[in-house]
Structure 1
């Protein structure tokens, strides 16, 4: 009954899917070799980057900071204590002369003992590549690139999440936020039929049953910011793009770091391949680098780059 209710709520909030024919435009300035290297550095560690392995988490945080420092105006750690251990968000900023900020975020920790290639090395690799591309642009607002720690259980939906710590910092310091873009699982795609699932089967008649699209997830707090991200993403046509809009009663709508920005009344969206509705490797040791589609992931990054340039 809950799944049916969720589906009905979701359908009542649906925005047109926009799965139009993909143009011949290609991700010409995306460096797929560099993206693969980022993914290798993040996933191929001796120990999994979960909350128990502090040394591994710190090594990944250090790698992210070094890469952001190559292109950002400033970089820093946002450190905080959980159960007598120190955990770190990693922040890199461009356009620091401006007050209004766009937040682009992705979590770098994993659930359990696994590589976490799609969840969420793909998001972090996207974050790093967007920083490299956008650092070359002249924008009229600041961008903070934030790699979060402790998104995964047992800290999910608690104030120990790295994204809660960051969002709360913005609120406490009255910082003007243009919006937040959460990158959550952007690397897994399949073109074969029956590779995409939904809360109820009937949704496949609207969105199709092929796992070949990227999604802009919104709720009522996404506002004009969410609508603009959606429209600009669909405009690029580098990869089929759909939009889901609904409340947290819809399973999965708030399953990432954007939820903490929503909770503090910031406009935010999640960019995702729909997670466990598609990728059956979710939260298992099968979520490996070899399962990712780097070309389609690159198209998502390119599409986001064009979108952010036009905001």
Structure 2
């Protein structure tokens, strides 16, 4: 709201980690709501309530700090909103912060509950943005981003344009020309249910694994590289302004 966005909260009930009917909240913000051409950005704002990968048994049942897996994506979206507010853009930009993304288990469909709910709520074709970009696990030390395979399946053109733009901005060492593996993240439901072509900028190692911090108490502020985080923000901000002026 401080950056001039129209903000609404979408409440829903979620079942996770043995708990039922937990109140959960997606946060939706629209900048330049009257603009017909729109791009949408996503992140999840919840952090995992357990740390099943932590080597310290005493910490396994405690919530992780979630600096990378949660806070970094949110901070990226908030910074882009600040930049748009400071430097007006001829484009509608929507921001959706998903809840209950990171509380799943080995059962299919237990992850990404907020994006599943939000995607089912999108009914009006006229309100659908041109494409979307999801931030997840961004800004960690030594993080790099491959071309994630679900993103490539649903929105190959967007992936290629974003990675080409990143290379032109000397960010090719971070936005790497390699496969990012297949990650069943929020964008899967946005693509398959809401039918909005959406890509995922997510850290995976060339081996296909997540960082060592993942779902441990090492996912704290010490895991963050502010320059890496800034690079992702800079590239996606450039995407928005290029869409606005017709050069993307």
What range describes the TM-score normalised by the shorter chain of this pair?
Answer: 0.7 to 0.9
CA distance in structure 1 between the partners assigned to 2:80 and 2:42 by the alignment: 11
Structure 1 residue aligned with 2:238: 306
The normalised TM-score by structure 2 is: 0.77
* Aligned with 1:237 (options 157, 170, 175): 170
Q: Unaligned regions of 5+ residues in structure 1, if any?
A: 1-68, 191-210
More strand by proportion, 1 or 2?
2
Q: Following superposition, which runs of at least 4 residues in structure 1 exceed 4 angstroms of deviation?
A: 243-246
Q: Superposed, which structure 2 residues align to 1:91-102 within 5 Å?
A: 91-102=28-39
- Alignment of 1:214 onto 2:214: no
C-alpha distance after superposition, 1:86-106 (max 9, x if no partner): 211111111111233211010
Corresponding residue for residue 221 of structure 2: 289
- Tell me how far apart the structure 2 counterparts of residues 101 and 245 of structure 1 sit (CA, whole Å): 28
Provide, for residues 6-35 of structure 1, a one-character-per-residue CA deviation record: whole Å limited to 9, x for no partner.
Answer: xxxxxxxxxxxxxxxxxxxxxxxxxxxxxx
| Deviations 1:122-170, CA, capped at 9 Å, x for gaps | 1111111111112334434311111110111327735971112222222
With over 3 angstroms needed to count, the CA separation of the structure-2 counterparts of 1:73 and 1:286, relative to structure 1, is closer
**Structure 1 residue 114: Cα displacement:** 0.9
Task: Find the structure with the greater CA-based Rg.
Answer: 1
Aligned length: 216
TM-score (norm 1): 0.63
For residues 37 and 94 of structure 2, what CA distance do their matches in structure 1 show? Answer: 10
Give 5+ residue unaligned stretches, structure 2: 15-19, 51-62, 244-248
Q: Partner of 2:159 in structure 1?
A: 226
Is 2:112 the counterpart of 1:182?
no
Deviations 1:237-282 (A, max 9, x none): 2462224558xxx4xx233211111212321111122277351110
SS at match of 2:117: helix
SS at match of 2:78: helix
Q: Tell me the distance in 2 between the aligned counterparts of 1:126 and 1:215.
A: 18
Q: Which residue of 2 aligns with 1:263?
A: 192
Counterparts in 2 of 1:89 and 1:288: CA distance versus 1, 3 Å: same
What is the root-mean-square deviation in Å for CA atoms of aligned residues? 2.4
